[in-house]
Chain A
Amino acid sequence: MKIYAYGIIDFHNKLEEPIEGLEEKGIYNVSYRDIGVTVSELNEETREITDTCILEHEKVVERLMINFTVLPMRFLTVFNTQEDLLSMVEFYYEDFKNNLQRLFNKVEFGMKVIWPADTIKKRIIDVYHKTKHNISVSIDSPAKTFVKEKFEKHIIDKEFQEEANRCIAVVDDYFNKIAVEKKLKRLQTESLLLNASYLVDKDRQNEFKQAFEQLKNAPSDLKFLFSGPWPCYNFITLTKKPSSVDYFNTEDMLNRLLAQQGFAQERNSV
C-alpha cells in the first residue's frame, strides 16, 4: 500500500470533516510538529497521470483550502511508506513553514495573452526593409549571404522581443499593483505572448477581477484567457536543494489543469 500526498497544510491534528480522495479512499492528515501532510492510501503499484487523477487531486486541494493554507503538491506524488513521507517533511520543514506563512490567505490567478504574432512580425520586417537597417557588405559569397540572412533574422527577432516586452508591460500594469507576487512567462510560443500567474490576497480578488475587466474592455488586438482563483500551485519556493524528486512547482500546473479541466472537457463535448 502506497501513500498519495495532496498537500502540506498548516494544521497538525486529525481532519474533522471526511474528504474522499483518489480511488475513493479517505483523506487523513499525517502530522509533523505543527504542520501536516494530507494523504490517502493508494493501491496500485504504478499510475499514470490521468485526467481523473488530476481532477480528483484538485478537488481535494480546493476542499482543504476552505479551512487551511495549502501547499498543493505535484500531481501523482507518491511515497512508499509513511517513514519516507515524514523524512521528506522533516527535510523541508522550514521551507514549508515559510511558504505556509507567505501563502496564508492568498490565491492564484492565471492570465494568458495571445497576440497577432504574424501581423507584428510582418510589420517589423516591412520597417526593417524600409529603413535599410542592413549589414553593409558586398554580397559576393555564400558566407556573406548567409551572414546577411542571419543578421536580418537577428534584428527582426530582437525587435519582436522588444515589442513583446512593451506589450507585456502594458498588460502587467493592470495587475501589478494588486498582486503580491507574479510569475511571467514570455513568448512560450510566438503567439502566446504572456503566460502569467499572479498571487493575490483573498480580500483583493474582486479588485483583481475588475482589473481584468478593464483590460478586456480596452481597445487592442489581444486575446485573453483569465482564470482563477486557483490554489497557489506556482508560488511555492524551496530554498533547500530539491532531492531527485520534485514535489512542487516543476511544471506549469495551471496549464495542466486548464487543459484537463474546463478546456479539455468543453472541447471534447463539441
Chain B
Amino acid sequence: MTNRIIETDSQEAFIEEIEKVQDVLPKRIDANPKNVEKGLAKLVLTLVELIRKLLEKQAMRRIEGGSLSEEEIEQMGETLLKLENKMQELKEIFGLKDEELNLNLGPLGDLM
C-alpha cells in the first residue's frame, strides 16, 4: 500500500516499549529433558502466583471496604507474608525471576 503512514516523534521510546511487549514472554513452556524440572516448576509456580495475587487483591478490597478487624488484618497479613516468602524461596530454588511467572494466552493476552 503506497499511502502507508508510520508517524511518531518519539521513535526510540516506542521501539523500547514494543520490544518490551514482544520479549516479555516465551510463546510456550520450554520443557525438554534437560530442563523439564524448571519448565514444570515455572508452570506450577505461575499458577500458584496467580492464586496468591488473587487472594492478595481480594484481601486488599476487604480492607478497603473496612470489613476486617485489626485482628483479622494481623492474621491475614501473616498468611500473605508467609506465602510471599515461600514463593520467593521456590523461585530462587528453580532460578526463576518474577517476570518469568506468566503465560501468554494468545488472543486473550497474558495471564497476569
Contact surface of A with B, Cβ cutoff 8 Å? 62, 65, 107, 112, 114, 135, 137-138, 141-144, 146-147, 150-151, 154-155, 185, 188-189, 191-192, 195, 205, 209, 212, 223-230, 246, 249-252, 255-256, 258-259, 261-263, 266-267
Contacts and interface: CB of A to CB of B under 8 A. Distances in A.
B63 interface: yes
A246 B14 contact: no
A55 to B, nearest CB: 13
Main secondary structure of the interface of A (DSSP, over half): mixed
Interface residues of B, number: 39
B38 to A, nearest CB: 24
B70 interface: yes
B11 A226 contact: no
Top 3 nearest A-B pairs by Cβ distance?
A143-B77, A147-B77, A154-B60
B19 interface: yes
21 contacts: A112-B14, A135-B73, A144-B73, A146-B81, A188-B21, A189-B21, A205-B3, A223-B13, A224-B8, A224-B10, A225-B7, A226-B7, A226-B8, A227-B4, A228-B5, A229-B1, A229-B4, A255-B18, A259-B15, A259-B18, A261-B6
Nearest to B60: A154
A204 to B, nearest CB: 14
Contacts of B13: 114, 191, 223
Nearest to B106: A250
Given A150-B60, A154-B64, A252-B21, 20 more contacts: A135-B73, A141-B77, A142-B77, A143-B74, A143-B77, A146-B77, A147-B80, A154-B60, A188-B17, A188-B20, A191-B13, A224-B7, A224-B9, A226-B5, A226-B8, A227-B5, A227-B7, A250-B106, A251-B106, A263-B18
A137 B70 contact: yes
B72 to A, nearest CB: 10
A223 B9 contact: yes
Nearest to A255: B18
Interface in B16-31: 17-22
B22 A143 contact: no
Contacts of B106: 246, 250-251
